[in-house]
A and B are shown apart, each in its own frame.
Chain A
Amino acid sequence: MSTLRLWGHYLPAFLRGTAVTLELTGACLVVALALGFLTALCRMARSRLLRNLAAIYIEVLRATPVIVLLFIAYFSLAEVGIVLPPFLSVVVTLGVFYATLFGEVFRGGIESVHRGQREAAQALGLTAPAIMRRVVLPQALLAILPPAANTAADLLKDTSLVVTIGGVSEIMYQAYAAASATFLPMTMFVLAALFYFPIYYLLSTVLRRWEVRYAERH
């Protein structure tokens, strides 16, 4: 069979894989963004304890390879009775790891908003959450979007690590299965790379366009 016919044969599997990759990325993003925002708030909290805890969390996780975290989530936790299915293991791992990256992105964005903005809102009597929502975040978003888009793209690519524990049929898993069945790793893994590219491209251009429009409006 020619390469093209082979690719044609495996196309449906790769498309299913793409859907799973997107699903997995989405789930990880939700956790990472929420936890990241929380981390940023802790890093900027008045309480020194919270600030230190957040700093330690960030330092420790950043020093650890993602695959080690994944193995801890999947294999080690099972040993102590917490059995996470593969999909959930990845969501927990990437969610917790990328929260540290998003957290620093959020913090940088929030701190880039001029102090006078917060003070003007305080002087109007706005509560802290209202100041965050109505004044700080809308302005911080401009500084947050570009690095956040990059971080999201990195997260997307890191979902492929799940192939090491198996059980989630995303792009990399499909490629691995196809390569094993055909003994053609070159063909199949290049095909996998081709499938990541449009997602990555879409993610970065859509976000960039959004960012430009947002910048124009403000």
Chain B
Amino acid sequence: MQNGTESVVEVRGLGKRFGRNRVLEDIDLDVHAGEVVAVIGPSGAGKSTFLRCVNYLQPFDRGRLRVLRHELQGTEEPGYRRPAPATLTAIRTRVGMVFQTFNLFPHLTVQENITLGPTETKGMPRGEADDLALRLLARVGLQDKAKAYPRRLSGGQQQRVAICRALAMQPEIMLFDEPTSMLDPELVGEVLAVIRELADDGMTMLLATHEMSFARDVADTVVVMAERRIVETGPAREVLTAPRTRRTRAFLHRVLDHAAVPDDEDDSADAGEG
């Protein structure tokens, strides 16, 4: 799906350490408009940290990152300057994010959670924002929860509200940081359905996930991360059914039905939680 469209996210040589602990090394990636990129890999591989770099919730030290024509640099790169607040606001109002732990505002109703962004950062009038919130809630089947407080909702409902909250900013890119990994198994489906619908509508997405079959069905591109690096990138079906690298095979071997992945004697050598 990369038919000549421009890169909306361009990552070059991105690296990040926490103290002496390296969490990301030499990450290169292009995301094109309308593309759905799934980031998979073992826990601790750096998926979340990488996603958080894209909207600069997490400053990085090495390399550079271009998001919707805004240039961000690693803090240790020569000539680094802290990004202006206006730049960050410009990026964040156009890049939506959904968190693993939902992070809804507990002191605000569902509707207020959704209207906070547009009213506060875009100066959208109250009434207009309320209408928008109700439309979005209807889309995810939660219109009757507008006045409820988040703690009254199930995890799946909370995550759908969180998606509405991000969509209310009318973002051009959506980041999903393992959106279903905190959910009870029976609630995963309702959240994935919403994400799938967004993908079908042509939303550009970067999605860290452990849902392999979902990645195969919905993603255009799959990026495999292991031990703080990208070890494989390619069309979703190819990567997931005929992985080229040993590490991808090792990872898939552990998470998928063993029969689905070609076995490899050396798998165990590269396996291990990052």
Contact = CB atoms under 8 A, between A and B. Distances in A.
Interface of A: 114, 116-117, 119-128, 130, 134-135, 138-139, 218
A116 B121 contact: no
B117 interface: yes
Contacts of B85: 127-128
Interface residues of B, number: 26
A127 B116 CA distance: 12
Contacts of A130: 120-121
Given A119-B57, A119-B99, A120-B99, A125 B92 contact: yes
Contact of A123 (B57, B106, B120): B57
B20 interface: no
Contacts of B120: 124, 126, 130, 134
B104 interface: yes
Contacts of A121: 105, 116
A120 B121 contact: no
Contact of B121 (A119, A124, A135): A124
Nearest to A218: B107
A139 B93 contact: no
Nearest to B149: A218
B106 A218 contact: yes
Contacts of A138: 107
Contacts of A119: 57, 99, 103
B105 A135 contact: yes
Nearest to A120: B103
Given A124-B116, A125-B117, 20 more contacts: A116-B99, A116-B101, A117-B103, A120-B97, A120-B104, A120-B162, A120-B165, A123-B92, A123-B95, A123-B96, A123-B166, A124-B93, A124-B120, A125-B88, A125-B89, A125-B121, A126-B121, A135-B116, A139-B105, A218-B149
A209 B104 CA distance: 27
B169 interface: yes
